[in-house]
């Protein structure tokens, strides 16, 4: 149920020039989040600065708690969620890692915490720019994981996150990943919906008989050892399976109520029809790649682009259907995975696994690019496509994983 302040603030749809972080802060107000925890670390902390401003201005009423560390941030929202509070928190880089014990437990306890990851490079050496390794670290723990590309999408997906995570058939935490600086700090025009629209889309959070309360004494986080651990892991796996259907239904309702959104909640296709080469990436990488793809089409080249939005649950079937129609796939990773198969990135490894069962498999080449916030330019995309085209022409992949834009000295 939206607060009186939020109802007064969001009476009509508006257009605001705001950053991705500010868009998520507005989503918190629209969703009437009960408990929000903060601890400063760039670039995520900009969302908390805007939340505190909304609270100070009387536009948003929540329990806003500045913790003494990232670990405490996640512990607080974990416990708040267990007693029925809608929660939000976040972090970046090594701050996200400092909270890892609580992050792991949150998924294991099936608590639908929503968190923003302001993607940044892991120290040391220090860098504030975007890399995806921080958020990708939770990919095997039971967190749903989504990469946004625009400030509008940041607001929209935050609302979707609470809707899906708090569904009683799911009850899994949800991480909204936002590329540091490129998204967290860059401003764009965002359509801000009304409280009436949000209330129609987002029901109150109800844990039912799983809510910790004096009138409902239950045990949370028991020591189960080998007697029950496998069964509980399987239950989380089944919840992740069910999340796919919940996401599809919620997304269709979102498009109906708010009047926007791609055809698929899991992937975005751009000029993929009849493409010989399809570039695959995540996050704000979409911006320079779309420019390059348009230019290729103007020149008569059949190049397409697929943006992976949900990394967990991974959109295996959608990607199989799209990518098996082309000659080659150019996977761009804004991450690294030292010692991985072919020394490739995480997205490349996942995609190759997804396509392995298919009878018709395209050539697959991997490119590590844009680490530490380094920009990926149109010329970089051209270099990748040239390498992929050579592999198509010769039938030989000289090197499966290539680092792009790296100085020799």
Whether residue 325 sits in one domain with residue 245: no
Domain range for 49 is 4-258
Whether residue 92 sits in one domain with residue 14: yes
Whether residue 247 sits in one domain with residue 274: no
Domain harbouring 281, CATH code: 3.40.50.920
pLDDT of residue 267: 98
Whether residue 370 sits in one domain with residue 274: yes
Question: 309-319: per-residue pLDDT in tens?
Answer: 999 999 999 99
Residue 409 located in a structural domain: no
Domain harbouring 193, CATH code: 3.40.50.970
Domain boundary among 258, 280, 295: 258
**Band (1; pLDDT cuts 50, 70, 90):** very low
Whether residue 275 sits in one domain with residue 182: no
Question: 51-90: per-residue pLDDT in tens?
Answer: 999 999 988 999 999 999 999 999 999 999 999 999 999 9
Average pLDDT over residues 15-25: 97
User: Does residue 5 carry a pLDDT above 60?
Assistant: no
Q: By the 8 A CB rule, do 116 and 19 touch?
A: no
Residue 72 located in a structural domain: yes
Whether residue 21 sits in one domain with residue 65: yes
The strand pairing partners of 305, in sequence order, are 270, 279
**Band (222; pLDDT cuts 50, 70, 90):** confident
CA distances from 335 to 101, 122, 131, 401 (A): 22, 11, 6, 12
Domain boundary among 208, 235, 258: 258
Residue 293 located in a structural domain: yes
Average pLDDT over residues 283-287: 97
User: Does residue 91 carry a pLDDT above 80?
Assistant: yes
**Band (9; pLDDT cuts 50, 70, 90):** confident
pTM summary value: 0.96
Per-residue tokens: 31: 């969703």
pLDDT of residue 8: 66
Residue 199 located in a structural domain: yes
Average pLDDT over the chain, rounded to an integer: 95
Domain total for the chain? 2
Whether residue 254 sits in one domain with residue 306: no
Domain boundary among 204, 234, 258: 258
Pairwise CA distance, residues 197 & 409, whole Å: 55
Residue 263 located in a structural domain: no
Question: 167-201: per-residue pLDDT in tens?
Answer: 999 999 999 999 999 999 999 999 999 999 999 99
Whether residue 175 sits in one domain with residue 278: no
Residue 396 located in a structural domain: yes
**Band (3; pLDDT cuts 50, 70, 90):** very low
Average pLDDT over residues 277-305: 98
pLDDT of residue 2: 40
Average pLDDT over residues 349-368: 97
Residue 88 located in a structural domain: yes
Whether residue 304 sits in one domain with residue 356: yes
Whether residue 235 sits in one domain with residue 112: yes
Give me the count of residues in the chain.
Answer: 409
Whether residue 129 sits in one domain with residue 278: no
pLDDT of residue 59: 86
User: Does residue 325 carry a pLDDT above 60?
Assistant: yes
Determine how β-strand 303-308 pairs with β-strand 277-281: parallel
Determine how β-strand 14-19 pairs with β-strand 187-192: antiparallel
Whether residue 111 sits in one domain with residue 131: yes
User: Does residue 122 carry a pLDDT above 70?
Assistant: yes
Residue 408 located in a structural domain: no
Question: 359-374: per-residue pLDDT in tens?
Answer: 999 999 999 999 999 9
């Amino acid at each position: 149920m939206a607060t009186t302040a939020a109802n007064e603030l969001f009476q009509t749809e508006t257009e605001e020039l705001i950053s991705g972080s500010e868009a998520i802060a507005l989503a918190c107000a629209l969703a009437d989040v009960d408990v929000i925890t903060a601890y400063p670390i760039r670039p995520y902390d900009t969302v908390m600065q805007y939340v505190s401003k909304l609270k100070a201005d009387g536009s948003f009423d929540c329990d806003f708690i500045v913790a003494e560390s990232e670990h405490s941030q996640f512990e607080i929202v974990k416990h708040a969620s267990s007693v029925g509070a809608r929660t939000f928190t976040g972090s970046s880089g090594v701050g996200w890692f400092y909270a890892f014990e609580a992050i792991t437990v949150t998924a294991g306890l099936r608590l639908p915490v929503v968190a923003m990851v302001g993607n940044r490079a892991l120290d040391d050496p220090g860098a504030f720019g975007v890399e995806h390794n921080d958020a990708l670290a939770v990919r095997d723990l039971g967190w749903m994981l989504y990469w946004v590309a625009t400030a509008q999408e940041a607001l929209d997906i935050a609302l979707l996150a609470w809707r899906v995570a708090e569904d009683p058939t799911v009850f899994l935490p949800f991480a909204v990943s936002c590329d540091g600086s490129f998204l967290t700090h860059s401003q764009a025009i965002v359509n801000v919906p009304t409280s009436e629209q949000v209330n129609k889309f987002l029901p109150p959070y109800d844990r039912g008989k799983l809510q910790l309360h004096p009138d409902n004494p239950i045990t949370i986080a028991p020591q189960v050892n080998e007697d029950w651990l496998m069964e509980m892991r399987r239950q989380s796996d089944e919840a992740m399976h069910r999340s796919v259907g919940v996401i599809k239904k919620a997304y269709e309702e979102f498009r109906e109520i708010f009047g926007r959104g791609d055809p698929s909640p899991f992937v975005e296709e751009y000029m993929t029809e009849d493409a010989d080469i399809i570039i695959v990436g995540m996050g704000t990488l979409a911006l320079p790649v779309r420019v390059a793809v348009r230019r290729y089409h103007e020149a008569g080249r059949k190049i397409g682009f697929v943006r992976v939005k949900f990394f967990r649950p991974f959109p295996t079937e959608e990607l199989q259907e799209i990518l098996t129609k082309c000659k080659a796939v150019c996977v761009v990773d804004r991450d690294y995975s030292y010692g991985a198969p072919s020394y490739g990135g995480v997205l490349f490894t996942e995609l190759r696994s997804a396509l392995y069962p298919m009878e018709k498999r395209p050539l697959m080449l991997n490119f590590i690019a844009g680490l530490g916030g380094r920009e990926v330019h149109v010329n970089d995309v051209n270099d990748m496509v040239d390498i992929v085209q050579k592999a198509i022409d010769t039938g030989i992949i000289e090197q499966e994983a290539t680092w792009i834009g790296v100085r020799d000295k």
